[in-house]
Chain A
Amino acid sequence: MVTIKISPYFTEVKKEIVEFELKEEITADQLLKQIGIKKPEYVSVVLNGQVVSKDVKVKNKDNIEIYPIFGGG
């Protein structure tokens, strides 16, 4: 089971937490598309507490959080 906590910025995903079983390891980018994030380029991915690049592989038991990139102001 992979758990994804979703920032409310991403209104296209209606849930705050999404959980499901991964059949195989996939990249964070693929995962974002799979859960319905429309514009992954606006997402900062936190994997088990660390910000990671979107080409990093994710697997079951991982905790993932997604937040918007933020450019100051």
Chain B
Amino acid sequence: MPYGYWGKMLRINLTTGNIKEETFEESFMRKYFGGKGFVSYYLLKEVDAETDPLGPENKLIFATGVMTGVPVSGMCRYAVGGKSPLTGGYGQSEAGGWWGPELKMAGYDGIIIEGKAEKPVYIYIKNEEVQIKDATHLWGKNTDEAQRIIREENGDKRIRVAQIGPAGERQINYACIVNELKHANGRTGMGAVMGSKNLKAIAVRGTKKLEFKDKQKITEIAKWFSGYLMENPLTYGLYNWGTAGGVMGLSKGGILPTRNFKEGSFEGAEKIWGKTMAETILKKREGCYACAIRCKRVVEVKNDKYTVDPEFGGPEYETVAAFGSLCGIDDLEMISKANELCNKYTLDTISTGMVIAFAMECFEEGILTEEDTGGLKLNFGNAEAALKLVEMIAKKEGIGEILALGSQRAAEKIGKGAEKFALTVKNQELPMHEPRGKVGVGIGYAVSDTGADHMQAGHDSLFTQEGEVLDSIKPLGILKPIDPFDLTEKKVREFMYLQFLWSFYNMAGICDFSPVPRGSLPLDKLVEVMRAATGWNVSLWEMLKAGERGLNMSRLFNLRCGIDSKDDRLPERLYQPLEGGSLKGVKIDKDDFNKAIKKYYAMMGWDEETGIPRKEKLEELDIKF
């Protein structure tokens, strides 16, 4: 019998209404580990180059990992994937919360959604009872109301709901999927794919017992780790101040994206960082399933200007920076309101903030005028205008209709030189990390399978000196500190090894805030937990090889979609000097960067020019598609 998973996927065709179960062997799980591994497997097997991301032929895959639901901090995540309407290639995004473990407890490792329902529907899974239910009455409703109705009409308050709001229904290219109103599969527009299938929600209630090989060992490690993590600044800092606790350090270091990445330090940083949040609007700290780190914030605002409902959680670092420093806004209450609206409508906060910052720069440069914006004065720092834009984007009203396309496509429509202010890779907007001060993050942005993504590998700033953090990754063969500006083979090697690890985390359903190097669970303990959960004699080597396999598979899917080495590039702005902040004048050398990308291809076993995986590399990883 399998431990930690069921060996069972649900396949639901919304065109025909057909629901069936598919089983898989242990060797399949041990090769792909779930999550990203499953998404890339099913996309390669079932989705072709011509598939319209918003057409019925596209698949939408919800996949837990082998570790999702193991009661240890950080083992809660699941991936959603499909062909992306934003990038036109490999789409995938992970979320924490409770939905992934709930699906596991219902008896399934994942769901493959096919086709398109004739009218709006939602899927209700109660253990192995699976129904497609009418959602006509839910269509057009915000997430809070839809969740309340789904729970009421099925008579169970503990139903976990992953769903889309109006932005997903309108198929906005960067619409996300939200579970529990506050945990988002944010990136690559998976909410739009869900909307294109007329699928409002997947509501799950699971009460089955998931078996583990050595429950006692898991309990022992979970207990030890819940104490140990409070001794490590990287994890207890997350508890105390949340992910936004990093804002001040980043601003002082000159790497806080400010005013559309023109600058790297923000004069209003102190007003929006995690400490200020804790001292003002923070109502409570929350965690995901079985997690003692509790990095999530719940905020509440009630005043004449704004009300922010704590049901929608609170803004993460990415959201604080995207609506804050990036737009020149130092109002934490407004940022929290923007976060609430994005969770209500299901808009990705990173892309939404970036699109607004793009529009602000276009406005300041005279490319957009008040005539275009419907009278909005879109200068950097205008909090009211930014909030209004969130509404206009979600409703595709006025300028919002163009901005809903994403900044790259919007820039092409606007013209007049707007393209240089659209900061994207493979059409996806940059996240809130400044590659000019940590160039390994730039390599990650460029080569990422999903377009610009900050979760490809650990960031350079963690590994610049001797100490516990560097020690934690020495088992990977990264033995010496590396300068954050270094673009030599040392950086490429470090990035690649860490990318294998991160890729594996995204396969197995593990949050990177739990294990090292971003968290504090040592790698040998992680291996122990995996062995205790699955009963396999799994090794770190095997985990890294699986991570590498996942990266090669998503690469192959992108190549199938025509996304190749020409797309592994950074926006031009990052090759220009920072205009302000403590790293003013610093830029990335384009030649050095391009050489690093070629070196990465070669180290990966890919053709140095085309970036296509070599036949022998695919044979080594046993990839046959």
Interface positions of A (Cβ within 8 A of B): 7-11, 39-42, 44, 46, 49-51, 54, 65, 67-73
Contacts and interface: CB of A to CB of B under 8 A. Distances in A.
B233 A44 contact: no
A73 B253 contact: no
- Describe B's contact surface by its main secondary structure: helix
B219 to A, nearest CB: 27
A48 to B, nearest CB: 10
B249 A73 contact: no
B459 A44 contact: no
Given A9-B241, A44-B249, A44-B253, A72 B441 contact: yes
Nearest to B511: A73
A65 B249 CA distance: 9
B455 A41 contact: no
Given A7-B249, A9-B240, A11-B240, 18 more contacts: A9-B237, A39-B467, A41-B465, A41-B468, A42-B234, A42-B467, A42-B469, A49-B582, A65-B252, A67-B249, A68-B245, A70-B250, A70-B459, A70-B461, A71-B462, A72-B518, A73-B455, A73-B513
B252 A51 contact: yes
B317 A68 contact: no
Contacts of B441: 72
5 contacts: A42-B233, A51-B252, A67-B248, A71-B518, A73-B512
B322 to A, nearest CB: 14
A69 B513 CA distance: 14
- Tell me which of B243, B245, B252, B513 has the highest count of chain A C-beta atoms within 10 A of its own C-beta: B252
A25 to B, nearest CB: 21
Nearest to B316: A73
Chain A contact surface mostly: loop
A40 B241 CA distance: 19
A73 B243 contact: yes
Q: A8, A69, A70: which has the most chain B beta carbons within 10 Å?
A: A70
B71 interface: no
A70 to B, nearest CB: 3
B454 interface: yes
A72 B455 CA distance: 8
Contacts of A73: 243, 317, 454-455, 512-513, 518
A51 B582 contact: yes
B246 interface: yes
Contacts of B468: 39, 41-42
Interface string B212-256: 000000000000000000000110110011010110111011100
A39 B233 CA distance: 8
B308 to A, nearest CB: 23
Interface string B441-471: 1000000000000110011011011111110
B433 interface: yes
